[in-house]
Each structure stands twice: as structure tokens, then as C-alpha cells.
Amino acid sequence: MGFFGVGIIGFGGVLPLARRMIVEQRRWMGAAEFTDLLALCQFLPGGNILNLSVAIGLRFGGLVGALAAITGLMAAPVVIVVLMGMVYARYQDLPLVRGLFAGLAAAAAGLIVATSIKIATPLRRRPLGIGVAVVCFVAIALARLPLLTVMAVMAPVSIAMAWRWRE
């Protein structure tokens, strides 16, 4: 039900709401554990939040929990997307509809920035983690290097650094 609530409320920007629900409201895991699990889920194929819901569902409810989490997360958004697609196809040329969708995009971008700051908070006591995050950001966002290339290089580098300088 937690993931259903996130799916229905967080349409278009689920990660910030999922983090709040998992870490702050339900306290299923701490902030650092959430960040670590999310990092692992980013390496898996598919959407990060989908992978995260499956991982948490497996952890707390086994296979049934994973199926419940993913179904809860996806049920409402699938219906909403189909309905919005039908409305958009019919009224896409109206200025009001264009403005509405532009506003939704801006809100989603703001949620991503806010969540990125919250997710990075556990790194504040890990200078090596901050360094890896900065290098990845510069490589992907500024240098426009391919995500897979950056991950292929930085994942082993960060693992080696974490192993070498264990806290």
C-alpha cells in the first residue's frame, strides 16, 4: 500500500516521495541504507524506482512482497498515463494544455534536484564519496560522456577506493 500511495501521488516524480515514505515516514531503512540500495538499483536494467520497489518488496515480503510493491507502484500511473494520453491527443494544440505540460515538467525537475540533495546528504561525512559523485556529475552533465562509460569506469574505481580506505 505504501508503494501504491507513492505511485498515485507521485506521478511523474516518484523518487522524492518514495524516499520520504521509505526513510522518513515508515522508517523501513535509514538514509544511508536507502542511498546505498538506490545506487545498487541504478546499475540494474530498468527504472531506478521500479528496481527499488522490487528490492524493498523482496526484503520485507519475499516474491509476493516484490509483486505487491511493483503492482502498487505501477497500477495508478498506468491508468493515469493512458487517460492523459487520450486527453493530450485530443487537446494538444490548446495553449492551456501546452502550459500545463510545461509546468509539470518544471515541477518534476525541481523534485529531482531536491531529492538529489537529500540522497547526497549521507555522503557529507565521506569525502571519497563526494569526490566520486562530483567526478560522475562533471563527466555526465558537463563533459556529456555516456552514462554507461562513466559507470563502467567509476564503479570499479569507487569500489576499490571504498575497500582501500574503509571507514
Higher pLDDT, 128 or 8: 128
Residues 35 and 105 in one domain: yes
CB 104 within 8 A of CB 12: yes
Residue 12's pLDDT band (cuts 50, 70, 90): low
pLDDT score of 66 more than 90: yes
Cβ neighbour number for residue 142 with a 10 Å cutoff: 8
Residues 136 and 96 in one domain: no
Residues 108 and 136 in one domain: no
pLDDT score of 167 more than 60: no
Output the pTM of the full model: 0.52
Residues 143 and 108 in one domain: no
Percent of the chain with pLDDT over 90: 28
Residues 76 and 153 in one domain: no
Residues 137 and 117 in one domain: no
pLDDT score of 10 more than 80: no
Residues 81 and 25 in one domain: yes
- Give the domain extent around 72: 2-123
